[in-house]
Amino acid sequence: MKSAWVDRDAQAMVAERAAAGIDRDFALRIYTTRLLGRDPKLVLHGGGNTSLKTRMRDRLGEAVDVLRVKGSGAAMATIEPSGFSAVRLTPMRKLRTLDAIDDFELVAIERANLIDATAPNPSVEMMLHAFLPHKFVDHTHANAVLSVIDQADGEQKCAAVFGGRLGFVPYVMPGFGLAKKAIEVFERTKPSDGLILSKHGIVTYGADAREAYERMIEMVSRAEDFIARNRKSIRIGTAEAPERASLAAIAPIVRGGCSEEDAKVEGAWRRLVLDFRPIERFRDFFGHPDFARLSQAGVVTPDHTIRTKNWPLVLPPPEAGKLDEFARTTGQAVQEFVARYHAYFGRNNARAGGIKHELDPLPRVVLIRDLGFFGLGRSKQDAVIAADIAEAWMETVLGAEAVGRFESISEADMFDSEYWPLEQAKLAPTLPSPASGGGSIHVPSPASGGGSIRVPSPASGGGLGRGLPLAGQIAAITGAAGAIGAATAKAFAAAGAEVALLDVDWAAARQAAKAIAATALPLACDVTDAASVNAAFERIAENFGGVDIVVSNAGAAWQGRIGEVDEAILRNSFELNFYGHQRVAQAAVKIMRAQKTGGCLLFNVSKQAVNPGPNFGPYGVPKAALLALMRQYALDYGADGIRANAVNADRIRSGLLTPAMIASRAKARGLTEKDYMSGNLLQREVTADDVAQAFLHQALAHKTTADVTTVDGGNIAAAMR
């Protein structure tokens, strides 16, 4: 591992931050924290932490000693000054006289000593940083270091690799107890460069930011060199594999198997989103002769437990043409995983006095032999995080096996980490209160820059949480670059869904996706082309794992008197305004049935389906057929839990109702454009956002199917009857 310190960049950071009133030490603290955070072999997704001891003035102008420490869960790679919490140092150090302290009491004391009351909660390792005397302290979960220390003889290996430059701290769960043990080891052994936290990670320190950072790089390099020099030769299995089923066919089966029915809302499912990694970079792990043991050996550092559970689900390779068999195997394997998790929770909760509330028992990593693996989470970002951590886990375990035998923390320690409220707080800013049997306490939200927000606690939401109503669901919207499509995609994403934006104009779909979220998926899709539709839905399944909601919205209006219109025009309209919806629904239903968790088909039928206008037959007739199509899907797939509903909207500013068309129609009727657009019973203009909210309402109505919701401000002629 090489140092990424560049003098020019460091000085640029100092100069840039000076303009904002930030001193040199803090600027370089930010700089080296980012350097550490950008290397996934050192830290991942909110892991690791850094600190700086300095003096600053409090709100009353008094100069005090403070510890600037990374906020809990903050991303080191992109950290800003607001990502650090400044805590009065002297009161924190006085806590060393205590033998132990309750987690909630410690958080309250830490927050009471913040210089800025709106700052994020300090890192759970804050007390370790406070007790050490050094000005700069860095802590990472470096893969190579974990490979060396995750061993039965980890202390002896550390002595061989690091000599006396790093003190060895026996495993203690992160928090106050670890801080106490670490300072005892430091004062007894007086290591020059840092500490090894057994089964956890590495700490380095220094008089300045560069010294602490480059000591970290040097120590990690020593571990890497040790592994390279002592690596055992292992024969990797390379058996000839039969033809495998496609990822697009496999993912919905895995996703459906790793879902659970909502115990409180009939017809609802708690689902997870997937992120896939192909096997090519991980063949040494999957082909390892001791794969069965390694795959179930446990986490490499306790910080990972909240993201990946303690072990992955392992599935056999799915053969082409045998997907029904793979689905049965997956269902059985998930049941066994869940039963194992329930037993694990029961044993350890009894040890904890029965005060814990079980999190959801579903896997967060799924390994599939000869194929690769999935990360799973309540959002695409959570799934990516789980997959990234799984990559680091495999690399670390292989490194450990190369120089010895990998050994994780005990089951009891895994449980204590997974159910530690301060770890759970990294996932949600509400902490379950053991005293109240699952209540909550508010903690400041780093994202909001202060104040606090209430989100479902892991204790009350079963781990999957209630949160946003569409969390864990995947929605595909056609015609997504248009006004209604874009508004609908935005509304569904705001409700927690992952969204795929399908449009014949990919560039426009990409622009709409960029305005929504980094995980929004833009796809080129011509709904008049069956191959294009199938390819788009295969890509959705590959990227997210499946689909739960489809808003079939693509369309265009042709005009003409029905008895005189050219047949080609009518056929073109049917291709888009009827068959296009059929192709989309057909592709979606195939995935939904593979998932076996129901689904929702939503169609934009428009006012023309029930109240045709003169000279609009080429548009209205296929729309009327679409209404019948919606009802047929409701009839044929209700037993599968798949709902089908429609929205009947009118006079929406969009690609169909352009500014020129609005001006022309208003003029023809002797109205202003405003009066024309609000020409309904309520005398209010109906917008694309209104239509989007109607689609969202239908997606959330678990006991409604074959429904048509009218969104037109009131038009009796278009009312359903």
Residue partners of 348: CB distance under 8 A and separation at least 6: 356, 411, 412, 415, 416, 419
* Token code pair at residue 680: 């309904």
Are 480 and 516 contained in the same domain? yes
CATH number, residue 403: 3.40.225
Residue 143 has pLDDT above 50, yes or no: yes
Residue 523 has pLDDT above 90, yes or no: yes
Counting the structural domains of the chain, the total is 3
The model's pLDDT over 63-117, given as tens digits with 9 standing for 90+, comes to 999 999 999 878 999 999 999 999 999 999 999 999 999 999 999 999 999 999 9
The model's pLDDT over 279-337, given as tens digits with 9 standing for 90+, comes to 999 999 999 999 999 999 999 999 899 999 999 999 999 988 899 999 999 999 999 99
pTM score: 0.91
Q: Find where tokens 């860095």 sit.
A: 138
Which H or E element spans position 372?
A: strand 372-377
Residue of 445 and 597 predicted with greater confidence: 597
Backbone dihedral angles phi then psi of residue 378, each to the nearest 5 degrees: -75, -10
Q: Would residue 238 count as lying in a domain?
A: no
Please report the pLDDT score of residue 438 as a whole number: 38
| 416 close to 103: Cβ distance less than 8 angstroms | no
Q: What is the 3-state secondary structure (H, E, C) of 631-689?
A: HHHHHHHHHHCEEEEEEEECCCCCCCCCHHHHHHHHHHCCCCHHHHHCCCCCCCCCCHH
Are 515 and 366 contained in the same domain? no
Please report the pLDDT score of residue 335 as a whole number: 97
Q: Beta strands 474-478 and 498-503: pairing type? A: parallel
Number of C-alpha atoms within 13 angstroms, CB side, residue 242? 8
Are 276 and 387 contained in the same domain? yes
Residue 664 has pLDDT above 90, yes or no: no
Q: Would residue 457 count as lying in a domain?
A: no
Q: Would residue 403 count as lying in a domain?
A: yes
| Mean pLDDT, residues 127-154 taken together | 97
CATH number, residue 171: 3.40.225.10
Are 60 and 125 contained in the same domain? yes
| 373 close to 317: Cβ distance less than 8 angstroms | no
Rounded Cα distance, 549 and 163, in Å: 58
| 550 close to 584: Cβ distance less than 8 angstroms | yes
Amino acid at 610: V
Amino acid at 490: K
Q: Give the end of a domain, one of 195, 230, 265.
A: 230
Q: Would residue 381 count as lying in a domain?
A: yes
Are 214 and 255 contained in the same domain? no
The model's pLDDT over 172-209, given as tens digits with 9 standing for 90+, comes to 999 999 999 999 999 999 999 999 999 999 999 999 99
Are 434 and 533 contained in the same domain? no
Residue partners of 552: CB distance under 8 A and separation at least 6: 478, 580, 581, 584, 585, 601, 602, 603, 604
Which H or E element spans position 70?
A: strand 63-70
Reported as a pLDDT band with limits 50, 70 and 90, residue 448 is very low
Positive or negative CA dihedral for 260, 263, 269, 274? negative
Are 382 and 280 contained in the same domain? yes
Q: Give the end of a domain, one of 168, 198, 230.
A: 230
The model's pLDDT over 239-292, given as tens digits with 9 standing for 90+, comes to 666 788 999 999 999 999 999 999 888 989 999 999 999 999 999 999 999 999
Please report the pLDDT score of residue 721 as a whole number: 62
The per-residue DSSP string of 257-298 comes to HT-EE-SSSTT-EE--EEEEEEGGGGHHHHT-TTHHHHHTS-
From the CB of residue 150, how many other CB atoms can be counted at a distance below 10 Å?
A: 27
Are 344 and 488 contained in the same domain? no
Residue 37 has pLDDT above 90, yes or no: yes
Are 226 and 251 contained in the same domain? no
| 651 close to 687: Cβ distance less than 8 angstroms | no
Backbone dihedral angles phi then psi of residue 514, each to the nearest 5 degrees: -60, -30
Q: Give the end of a domain, one of 422, 442, 462.
A: 442
Residue 457 has pLDDT above 70, yes or no: no
| Mean pLDDT, residues 538-557 taken together | 96
Rounded Cα distance, 409 and 93, in Å: 29
Number of C-alpha atoms within 13 angstroms, CB side, residue 440? 19
Q: What is the DSSP letter of 716?
A: G
Are 222 and 258 contained in the same domain? no
Dihedral, 48, 54, 60, 61 alpha carbons, nearest 10: -150
The model's pLDDT over 576-611, given as tens digits with 9 standing for 90+, comes to 999 999 999 999 999 999 999 999 999 999 888 888
Q: Which residue range(s) make up the domain with 148?
A: 7-230
CATH number, residue 562: 3.40.50.720
| 294 close to 304: Cβ distance less than 8 angstroms | no
* Token code pair at residue 238: 């390379």
Please provide the average confidence, as pLDDT, over all residues in the chain: 91
Residue 638 has pLDDT above 70, yes or no: yes
Residue 678 has pLDDT above 80, yes or no: yes
The model's pLDDT over 650-661, given as tens digits with 9 standing for 90+, comes to 888 887 788 888
Are 223 and 281 contained in the same domain? no
Rounded Cα distance, 342 and 338, in Å: 6
Q: Would residue 425 count as lying in a domain?
A: yes
Please report the pLDDT score of residue 489 as a whole number: 98
Residue 479, Ramachandran bin (φ over 0: left; ψ between -120 and 50: alpha; else beta): left
- Could you tell me which of 212, 71, 230, 39 has the C-alpha nearest to residue 142? 39
Q: Would residue 712 count as lying in a domain?
A: yes
What percent of the chain stands above pLDDT 70? Answer: 94
* Token code pair at residue 104: 């909630």
Q: Would residue 582 count as lying in a domain?
A: yes
Residue of 615 and 211 predicted with greater confidence: 211
Q: Would residue 430 count as lying in a domain?
A: yes
Rounded Cα distance, 292 and 235, in Å: 15
The model's pLDDT over 608-637, given as tens digits with 9 standing for 90+, comes to 888 888 888 999 999 999 999 999 999 999
Are 347 and 485 contained in the same domain? no
Q: Beta strands 365-368 and 201-206: pairing type? A: unpaired
Q: How far is CA 699 from the centre of its chain?
A: 21
